[in-house]
Amino acid sequence: MTVDFIYNFLNDLLPGFLGNDLLLILAMLLPFFALFGFITIYGFGVIYAELKVSSFIQDKTGPMGQGYGFHAGKWGLLQPVADGLHLFFKEDIIPATADRPLFILAPFLIFIGMFVGIIAIPFGEAIIISDMNIGIFYILGIGSLAVIALILAGWSSNNKWALYGGMRSAAQIISYEIPAGLSLIVVILLASSLSMQEIISYQSGGIFNWIIFDNPFMPIAFIIFFISALAETNRTPFDLPESESELVAGFVTEYSGARYAFFFLSEYVNMFVISAVAATAFLGGWQSPFPNFLNTPAWSVFWMISKAFFLVFVMIWVRWTVPRLRVDQLMHLCWKVFIPIGLFNIFGVSIWTVLRG
């Protein structure tokens, strides 16, 4: 459902009522508000899931109906709403010694990077904001904006802990983009396209046609990509940029209120974006796992969302299960393990594809 489709639909629905310029603006605003609504609902949902999953893993119940001085709704469903309101109405403090323009810019920059990255995600067979012919490359490129935002946040705070966190995050994200990119190269080799929709179309015909089952090298590529995605989103066991035992809160040490919330909302949305890319590249995207069954456009939305949400759940599960790595272990895993295996995968898939004809 691209901007062109919405424009033509509105033009047919309201012929002559609106000018071409107004129709075009409306066609661009409707996807914007739809995405913003999805991000809001998803944000509250994933925060609630984080609270409950972490509680169950620790043999607790998590947020329930009564507690925290107010009624949190049935099963504590209103707890994320309360947390969000609490952050957005807190006092916004900017340190006197901070670089004020850059300090203010950093959280908005990371939020913008997250928001414009999600427009290339195919939510279904016919639901995609912008079907780019270089969609997967575009998402990887836009993801690099996070590095700039995190360095800005750390440096502009004029706090040594924030600066350490920003530098750690930059080194970590830039390093793990390499094995993540190498894992996606083998997908592009097989599908012969950078378009997200064409990669999904390549995997039609049921679960055994998904790229993860295409050859013996692809499960390895998927595992490398998913673990690298954990590192790129600063999730445990790769949360060294904000490790509270060493750096107070890392690059967000001096942030409060809505700006603080922007960083973590962006982290949660990036989890969805990365999971959607993994589902698209390796798990068939919006394709049904059953050939010629439940493969309609309406079901395609269900399959895409459910695959992405399952991978988000795994990210939450890993966070509360696996201990944090040391910095040297983090870099050793990337440069001496994942990158050599990723290069080997490229040669292996190329030879396999040639031999298979």
- 76-109: b (≥16 Cβ within 10 Å) or e: bebbbebbbeebeeeeeebbeebbeeebbbbbeb
pLDDT of 211 over the 90 cut? yes
pLDDT of 339 over the 90 cut? yes
Give residue 101's pLDDT. Answer: 87
Q: What is the pLDDT of residues 142-183, one digit of tens each?
A: 887 888 888 888 888 888 888 888 888 888 888 999 999 999
Q: Do residues 240 and 172 lie in contact, with contact meaning Cβ atoms separated by under 8 Å?
A: yes
Determine the average pLDDT of the residues in 80-106: 83
Give residue 224's pLDDT. Answer: 95
Q: Do residues 130 and 3 lie in contact, with contact meaning Cβ atoms separated by under 8 Å?
A: yes
pLDDT of 223 over the 80 cut? yes
pLDDT-derived band at 13 (thresholds 50, 70, 90) equals: low
Give residue 200's pLDDT. Answer: 92
Residue 304 to residue 284: CA distance in whole angstroms: 8
- Give the tokens for residue 323: 């201990």
Determine the average pLDDT of the residues in 314-329: 88
Give residue 225's pLDDT. Answer: 95
Give residue 303's pLDDT. Answer: 92
- Least-confidence region, from 37-41, 185-189, 290-294, 336-340: 290-294
Of the two residues 70 and 136, the one the predictor is more confident about is 136
Determine the average pLDDT of the residues in 47-73: 76
Give residue 141's pLDDT. Answer: 85
Residue 112 to residue 286: CA distance in whole angstroms: 26
- Give the tokens for residue 20: 């071409």
The share of the chain scoring above pLDDT 90, in percent, equals 24
Spell out the SS3 assignment of 128-170: CCCCCCCHHHHHHHHHCHHHHHHHHHHHHCCCHHHHHHHHHHH
The share of the chain scoring above pLDDT 70, in percent, equals 91
Spell out the SS3 assignment of 55-119: HHHCCCCCCCCEECCEECCHHHCCHHHHHHHHHHCCCCCCCCCCCHHHHHHHHHHHHHHHHHHHH
Q: What is the pLDDT of residues 255-270, one digit of tens each?
A: 888 888 888 888 888 8
pLDDT mean across residues, the chain = 84
pLDDT of 90 over the 70 cut? yes
pLDDT of 58 over the 90 cut? no
pTM: 0.88
Give residue 65's pLDDT. Answer: 65
- Parse the chain into domains and list their residue ranges: 90-356
Give residue 114's pLDDT. Answer: 82
Of the two residues 90 and 122, the one the predictor is more confident about is 122
Of the two residues 341 and 126, the one the predictor is more confident about is 341
Of the two residues 302 and 127, the one the predictor is more confident about is 302
Give residue 259's pLDDT. Answer: 85
Q: Could you report how far apart the first and last alpha carbons of the chain are, in Å?
A: 36
Give residue 4's pLDDT. Answer: 63
